[in-house]
């Protein structure tokens, strides 16, 4: 059974930091590209960052220089380190596993950036 379980969301002040985690089933983590997407209220889901099995990363322009995606094969976990958070980063963040013709989504973890 494929599982993607996110954690680490919460309330943070502008300028603060959070680290999101996504624990994946071992069966998919080692062969799937992993990524983070987000969906703000009333908006479409958008890509935040992706990382291939080889470690190549890709970021949305809005988060470049502030967010870092990484993956730990020993823990079957992908992380999203978010620094210098802004109110516009407020959204539900979803973990995604992708292998071109097959993909999986986590249940989402909410992030609220507010003073």
**65-94: per-residue pLDDT in tens?**
999 999 999 999 999 999 999 999 999 999
Q: In the numeric block, which tokens belong to residue 94?
A: 């979803």
pLDDT, the chain, mean: 96
Q: What percent of the chain has pLDDT over 90?
A: 90
Question: For residue 100, what pLDDT is reported?
Answer: 84
Helix (H) or strand (E) holding 98: strand 91-98
Q: Sorting pLDDT into bands at 50, 70 and 90, what band is 2?
A: confident
> How many helices and strands (H and E) does the chain possess?
1, 11
Segment 36-46 mean pLDDT? 97
């Amino acid at each position: 059974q494929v599982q993607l379980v996110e954690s680490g969301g919460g309330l943070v002040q502008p300028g603060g930091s959070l680290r999101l985690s996504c624990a994946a089933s071992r069966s998919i983590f080692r062969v799937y590209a992993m990524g983070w997407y987000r969906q703000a209220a009333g908006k479409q889901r958008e890509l935040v960052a992706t990382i291939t099995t080889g470690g190549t990363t890709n970021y949305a322009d809005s988060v470049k220089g502030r967010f870092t995606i990484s993956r730990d094969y020993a823990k079957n976990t992908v992380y999203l380190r978010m620094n210098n958070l802004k109110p516009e980063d407020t959204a539900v963040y979803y973990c995604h596993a992708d292998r071109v013709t097959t993909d999986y989504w986590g249940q989402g973890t909410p992030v609220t950036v507010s003073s």
